[in-house]
Amino acid sequence: MSRRRLDEVDRAIVERLSRDARVSNRQIAAELGVTEGTVRSRVKRMEEEKLIRITAVTNIDRFRDASLAYIWIEVERSHQVSEVASQLAEIPELGFVGEMLGRSDLLAITMVRNNEHLAEFVHGHISCIPGVRRTESTLGVNFVKHDYRMARIVR
């Protein structure tokens, strides 16, 4: 299946929804100068093609008793990266798992209460996965910018 390129109207719809996903199709249509049916059909198509997903996002700045933990993972052999990533993706506490280029093979992101909680999580859920060579963890302490909206699509 080839990837569809988003046109300017699609991008404008995504940009508007990224600011407030509860905005009506009618309001988006009025702002963009298109019909409500155009907005509705384009949103439906982008959802069906899994180009967008409309969901609620937590505001991590409001979590006073939790920190964002970045867990950098090296695997033993390069052919194990995908399998380890798949196993990590099955862990419900991980909100992000990605294959990386650079010093580490994988990055996993989760929320933890403190250093001890992070250590327990890494030892109990990640280090025990076959193929994991080593992990390195960092905690986010001050977020200057945190924006999960991915409406700014690179062209």
pLDDT score, position 75: 97
> Measured between alpha carbons, how far is 121 from 115 in angstroms, rounded to an integer?
10
Query: What is the model's pLDDT at position 155?
Result: 39
61-139 placed in CATH 3.40.140.10: no
Q: What is the pLDDT of residue 151?
A: 41
Residues 6 or more apart whose CB falls under 8 angstroms from that of 32 comprise: 9, 12, 13, 16, 39
Q: Please report, in angstroms and rounded to a whole number, the separation of the first and last CA atoms in the chain.
A: 20
Give the list of residues 6+ apart from residue 89 with CB closer than 8 angstroms, or none. Answer: 97
**Three-state secondary structure readout of 17-42:** HHHCCCCCHHHHHHHHCCCHHHHHHH
Residues of the chain with pLDDT under 70: 1-3, 58-64, 146-155
Cβ-Cβ contacts under 8 Å for 56 (sequence gap 6 or more):
21
The residue ranges of every structural domain in the chain are 8-48, 61-139
Are 8-48 and 61-139 in the same CATH fold?
A: no
Instruction: Provide the pLDDT for residue 147.
Output: 66
pLDDT of residue 150: 47
Report the pLDDT value the prediction gives residue 60, as an integer from 0 to 100.
65
Q: What CA–CA distance (Å, rounded) separates 127 from 106?
A: 13
Q: What is the pLDDT of residue 19?
A: 85
| Paired tokens of 2 | 């080839």
Indicate the CATH number for domain 8-48: 1.10.10.10
